């Protein structure tokens, strides 16, 4: 890594927190199109409240698998159920998974979940089949304000971008491929 910019191709999410309405269209599109049984979700919305000297402000974060540069799930899986594609997408193979929960307990972002029907780990696959066909992932396609984007991180302008995904040790260890545009301070009552 040179100056915080990955030197190999790595796809990642960028969320413009100033555009995200917290509407959940990305969550619904993901759950519907991936046929996920409730309560299993690959993407969720977090409301963040920020107390400043000017008062209380809030913004929303659309979060899913970070497709980390150094995925902890891949490192700890005893069955090799995880792999990383050349474009940085972290893939989980249900056929190799035994449901041991090593990935579930080791991910600093609490991403892999145990599927309630199969009893195996499950996570966002970044709709890699759609990407391979030149289409956007369902979550990005569904966003009505275009707040969520997928980008090659080498092309990312890092000014005004932050990471809010985990405590600092988790960031250093895994190097998540998710960035957020710095939220404007909007006072709420």
| Ordered domains of the chain (ranges, CATH) | 11-188 (3.30.70.20)
Question: Whole-angstrom Cα distance, residue 12 to residue 178?
Answer: 6
Per-residue model confidence as pLDDT tens digits over 16-47: 999 999 999 999 999 999 999 988 999 999 98
Residues of the chain with pLDDT under 50: 1-7
Q: SS3 sequence, the chain?
A: CECCECCCCCEEEEEECCCCCCCCHHHHHHHHHCCCCCCCCCCEEEEEEEEECCEEEEEEEEECCCCCCCCHHHHHCCCCCEEECCCCCEEECCCCCCCCCHHHHHCCCCCCEECCCCCCEECCCCCHHHHHCCCCCHHHHHCCCCCEEEEEHHHCCCCCEECCCCCHHHHHHHCCCEEEECCCCCEEC
Beta bridge pairs of residue 179: 14
Residue 162: per-residue pLDDT: 77
């Amino acid at each position: 890594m040179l100056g915080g910019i990955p030197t190999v191709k790595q796809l990642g999410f960028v969320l413009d927190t100033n555009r995200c309405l917290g509407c959940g269209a990305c969550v619904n599109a993901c759950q519907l199109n991936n046929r996920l049984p409730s309560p299993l979700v690959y993407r969720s919305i977090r409301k963040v409240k920020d107390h400043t000297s000017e008062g209380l402000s809030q913004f929303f974060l659309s979060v899913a698998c970070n497709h980390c540069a150094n995925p902890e799930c891949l490192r700890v899986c005893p069955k090799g159920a995880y792999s990383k594609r050349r474009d940085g997408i972290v893939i989980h193979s249900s056929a190799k998974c035994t449901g041991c929960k090593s990935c579930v307990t080791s991910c600093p972002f609490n991403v892999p979940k145990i599927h309630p029907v199969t009893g195996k780990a499950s996570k966002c696959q970044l709709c890699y089949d759609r990407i391979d066909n030149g289409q956007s992932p369902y979550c990005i396609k569904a966003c009505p304000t275009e707040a969520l984007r997928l980008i090659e991180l080498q092309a990312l302008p890092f000014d005004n971008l932050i990471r809010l995904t985990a405590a600092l040790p988790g960031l250093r260890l895994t190097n998540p491929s998710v960035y957020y545009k710095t939220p404007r301070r909007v006072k709420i009552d």
